[in-house]
Amino acid sequence: MFFFLSKILDVLFTPLAWSVVLVAVGVFGARSSPRRRWLSVGGLGVLLFFSLEPVSNALYRTLEDPPPRTVRPEVTYDAVILLGGVVDERVQATYGVRAFNDNNERLLETFDLLRKGTARYAIVSGGSAYTTAEPTEAATLGNQLVEWGIDSDRVVLEDRSRNTYENAVYSSEIVRERGWKSVLVVTSAFHMPRASGCFRAVRLDVDTLPVDFRSYAGPFSGEWIPRAKYLESSSIAIREWSGRAIYRARGYSR
């Protein structure tokens, strides 16, 4: 039920949804009250505001700065946990080829840690958000690591999880079963605070290595014209903030 509701809320916590609601109320409510037409103007204003580069960048900065980085260079970790959210399952299912999204730095960094011997094993965590999707995300990412030259015995698949909390729950089970003591989590910088909070919630002590930074300290590109790509970035950042709040309220993150 939580997984289903989270997907609905994911849509509601976006500037586009807010804009559509305001415009609709303004258009249909203007018949009873002419003042309500200003709601439509407000809806368009919301859409334009969150489509600006400085706005989307500032939202990401609130998520990423300061980066929650606790990795210890002198440690050889028993395992690195690669969190899912890297594979585009629908594209992969449609064309039969691997399809990675903008979070692919998670995979690249995990490969580098294994290649250098900084981590002995990798737990690749990620099931399928779509019950008929095969292979699972964990299998896709694991196969990619093996094809890049990592010994298959060093790649452990966790293919049941559908969200960040389940990543932590099922990965922690593997860690405890194998008796591993030093564990490193790799995920996108904007996602790391929620991820590390989930591991604290399941009482697994982990170090963190954030990657895939998306914000910057200016100067801006000069694109003060609203762009769809900045609206998408703003939406992702807002959804992450809402996700943090919901996870804390549910006790999924600490």
Residue 11 is classified by DSSP as H
3-state helix, strand, coil in the chain (%, to 5): 55, 10, 35
Domains, the chain: 2-65+226-250 (no CATH), 77-211 (3.40.50.620)
pLDDT cut 70: percent of the chain above it: 90
Bigger pLDDT: 11 or 209? Answer: 209
Whether the pLDDT of residue 243 is over 80: the answer is yes
pTM as predicted: 0.88
- Using alpha carbons, select from 148, 171, 147 the residue that is nearest to residue 159: 171
Of 29 and 153, the structure prediction assigns the larger pLDDT to 153
pLDDT at 26: 77
The number of residues in the chain equals 254
Q: What is the pLDDT of residues 109-145, one digit of tens each?
A: 999 999 999 999 999 999 976 655 678 999 999 999 9
* Cβ proximity of 145 and 178 under 8 Å: no
Q: What is the chain's mean pLDDT, rounded?
A: 90
Q: How confident is the model at residue 157 (pLDDT cuts 50, 70, 90)?
A: very high
Across residues 93-108, what is the average pLDDT? Answer: 93
Please classify residue 81 by burial: count the beta carbons closer than 10 Å to its beta carbon, then call 0-12 exposed, 13-18 middle and 19+ buried: buried
Q: What is the pLDDT of residue 36?
A: 73
Closest CA to 25 of 12, 38, 13: 38
Mutual angle of helices 137-147 and 105-116, in 10-degree steps: 50
Q: Which residue has the higher pLDDT, 9 or 149?
A: 149
User: Looking at residues 72-99, what average pLDDT do you find?
Assistant: 93
Assign 30 a pLDDT band (cuts: 50, 70, 90).
Answer: low
Q: State the Cα–Cα distance between residues 93 and 231, nearest whole angstrom.
A: 27
Distance CA 185, CA 110 (A): 9
Q: 92, 67, 56: which is closest to 187 by C-alpha? A: 67
pLDDT above 70 (res 151): yes
Query: What is the arithmetic mean of pLDDT over 45-65?
Result: 94
Q: What is the pLDDT of residues 214-236, one digit of tens each?
A: 998 877 766 678 999 999 999 99
Phi, psi dihedrals of residue 244, rounded to the nearest 5°: -60, -45
What's at 202, amino acid-wise?
Answer: V
| The token pair that represents 35 in the structure block | 């003042």
**Tokens 């415009």 identify what position?**
23
Q: What is the pLDDT of residues 164-205, one digit of tens each?
A: 999 999 999 999 999 999 999 999 999 999 999 999 999 999
Which residue(s) pair with 185 in the sheet?
A: 81, 208
Strand spans (E) along the chain? 77-83, 119-125, 155-158, 183-188, 207-211
DSSP assigned state of 217: S
Quick one: tokens of 117?
């011997």
Minimum mean pLDDT among 5-14, 65-74, 129-138, 158-167: which range?
5-14
Helix, strand or coil, per DSSP, at residue 51: coil
